[in-house]
Amino acid sequence: MELWFSERHTPNVKLSIKVEKQLYSGQSDYQRIDIYESKEFGRFLTLDGFMMLTEKDEFIYHEMITHVPMMVHPNPEQVLIIGAGDGGAVRELVKYESVRHIDLVEIDEMVVDVCKKYLPKTACALDDPRLHIHYEDGLKYIRSCEDQYDLIIVDSTDPFGPGEGLFTREFYGSCYKALHKDGIMVNQHESPFYQEDVAAMQRAHKRIVESFPISYVYQAHIPTYPSGHWLFGFASKKYHPVDDLKREAFKDAKLNTRYYNPNLHVGAFSLPTYVEELLRDVE
Amino acid sequence: MELWFSERHTPNVKLSIKVEKQLYSGQSDYQRIDIYESKEFGRFLTLDGFMMLTEKDEFIYHEMITHVPMMVHPNPEQVLIIGAGDGGAVRELVKYESVRHIDLVEIDEMVVDVCKKYLPKTACALDDPRLHIHYEDGLKYIRSCEDQYDLIIVDSTDPFGPGEGLFTREFYGSCYKALHKDGIMVNQHESPFYQEDVAAMQRAHKRIVESFPISYVYQAHIPTYPSGHWLFGFASKKYHPVDDLKREAFKDAKLNTRYYNPNLHVGAFSLPTYVEELLRDVE
């Protein structure tokens, strides 16, 4: 017997992973949640059948969405994370002593519960005393925030289903307002390769450029996401993602990263020509 | 009816591409050769069932294996390509006026014939008057070469089957001998992500480090290769891949690249920490 999980990256491409067994399947108020065990990737989480994270490669996504802004902002104390009920971004954030308060806004409590139970390597810091979890819609939560955060991490799902509101102009405007005057927002920014993802990527970039004076895109290799070529957005009121990199702080912080390092940080902002052109088209 | 091509990236992972039709299937003295037509990737070539190139993403591989060394060497005139019967590296090379002579050593004449017929966008420069094709085993061909080339491009298949000899210590030593005193060798260097590829990657790196005084590895996003995270080796007798980059020459050359640009060139050498560690382990 063979059991395979398949995800369509487009109607014409699919990635399949051999599964040892399904550990959990449930339906929350918002989405279907599944956890599988596999030889190649360890355990992995899917929402509505879309890959969210695997134990083998989630370090790439979580290091890149966290350490890039943390290594630019000179003193990040107040952090807001939207989405990310799996706890991966929190695990990276709590490595910093400078961080005093983290608000995590996750719409789906069941995601947090399931990740705590089945993905302890990712969810291991969800009991950190600095963390405050709010089970709310991120779009609604942020409307009432003003001049409150040094960093906002938008760790959303794709721009349909529960994550849809996190790709709107209103949302990015609210993030701007919620940040201190030198605040930074990063977001998962989809992929430049397949046409469906390109449209979402361009739409997000256009709206962020309209909301923030400084806006750049950086990239990483994430093998279990469509095409393996994934982007993040870096939007800022004051700091430049490369010119303001704190190389010395990285050594002092002793983060034990496996993907991120300061040279890679700089290199990640050097995009392929076709990606630069796709971004320029909507600027 | 649906027709799907699937490739196992490991025994537990497969990438599948929906196929409109199979355009060609043949068996040469060395391998099985297939050409498929697909909506997502255009036409694609497989050898023994392994993906070699697709019309949609081959520009990434061919630009990165060609323009990186060409933008470092100050005056590359004599070039040797081993493998690459598809013509993609040749197409990029002939954009340079400085190139006077290209020897292409391909073991399998049938690959060249099939690519000329079915992949004209890739094979379009195989009639360039500067190109001389030799249907020979690259390992044997290079044994008799001495102080002859400015650049050697090793565009091999994986290190089993016909490409196996192109990953040996003897081969890299012969490349060293075949190069002028300031020559450069680049090679496709496998992937750092899946265990099977890691072993090949480390073995290649170890042998190149033993053969060349300057040896670095750079990366690209190649969606149709296992994990999408692909590496190239840059080995050199004199030039440093980043310090000796000719930024001005890029502007003058008007290459119309879609992936490569000088900033990306620099960024491509900034590797993730786990990849740096894998390489350091065998240095």
The domain spans of chain A are 3-53, 58-280
Longest dimension (CA), chain A: 58
Nearest by CB to B221, which of A228, A261, A263?
Answer: A228
* Beta bridge partners of residue A5, listed in sequence order: A17
Of the CA atoms within 13 Å of residue B273, those in its CB half-sphere come to: 13
Q: What is the CATH number of domain B58-280?
A: 3.40.50.150
Q: Are B187 and B201 in contact (CB under 8 A)?
A: no
Angle at A71 between CA A68 and CA A73, to 5 degrees: 105
| pLDDT(A161) > 90 | no
Contacts of A254 (CB under 8 A, 6+ apart): none
Q: Model confidence over A234-244: pLDDT tens digits? A: 999 999 999 99
B137 is in an annotated binding site: yes
Count CB neighbours of A238 within 10 A.
16
B3-53 domain in CATH 2.30.140.10?
yes
* Cβ distance of B261 and A269 shorter than 8 Å: no
pLDDT for B45 equals 98
Cα torsion at B32, B36, B42, B46 (round to 10°)?
-20
B chain contacts of residue A269, beta-carbon cutoff 8 Å:
267
C-alpha to C-alpha distances, B156 to B71, B74, B142, nearest whole angstrom: 21, 25, 14
B chain contacts of residue A223, beta-carbon cutoff 8 Å:
193, 227-229
Q: Model confidence over B44-83: pLDDT tens digits? A: 999 999 999 999 999 999 999 999 999 999 999 999 999 9
Q: Model confidence over A185-218: pLDDT tens digits? A: 999 999 999 998 999 999 999 999 999 999 999 9
Among B104, B171, B105, B102, residue whose Cα is nearest residue B139: B171
pLDDT for B84 equals 83
A137 is in an annotated binding site: yes
pLDDT for B167 equals 85
- CA–CA gap between residue B23 and residue A266 (Å, rounded): 44
A chain contacts of residue B258, beta-carbon cutoff 8 Å:
272-274
- CA–CA gap between residue B45 and residue B228 (Å, rounded): 17
CATH topology match: A3-53 vs A58-280:
no
* Beta bridge partners of residue A47, listed in sequence order: A33, A50
- Which residue shows structure tokens 């699937």? B6
Q: Which of B16, B41, B242 to mutate to test the interface with A (most CBs of A within 10 A)?
A: B16
Nearest by CB to A229, which of B193, B221, B273?
Answer: B221
Of residues A213 and A159, which shows the higher confidence score? A213
pLDDT for A159 equals 78
ipTM surpassing 0.95: yes
* Chain mean pLDDT for chain A: 96
Nearest by CB to B273, which of A4, A261, A274?
Answer: A261
For range B218-243, the mean pLDDT = 98
* Cβ distance of A272 and B266 shorter than 8 Å: no
Among A90, A17, A122, A63, residue whose Cα is nearest residue A257: A63
**Cα A276 off chain centre by:** 21
- The tokens for A169 are 């102009």
B158 is in an annotated binding site: yes
Angle between helix A195-211 and helix A169-178 axes, rounded to 10 deg? 40
Phi, psi of B63 (to 5 degrees): -65, -40
- CA–CA gap between residue B184 and residue B73 (Å, rounded): 7
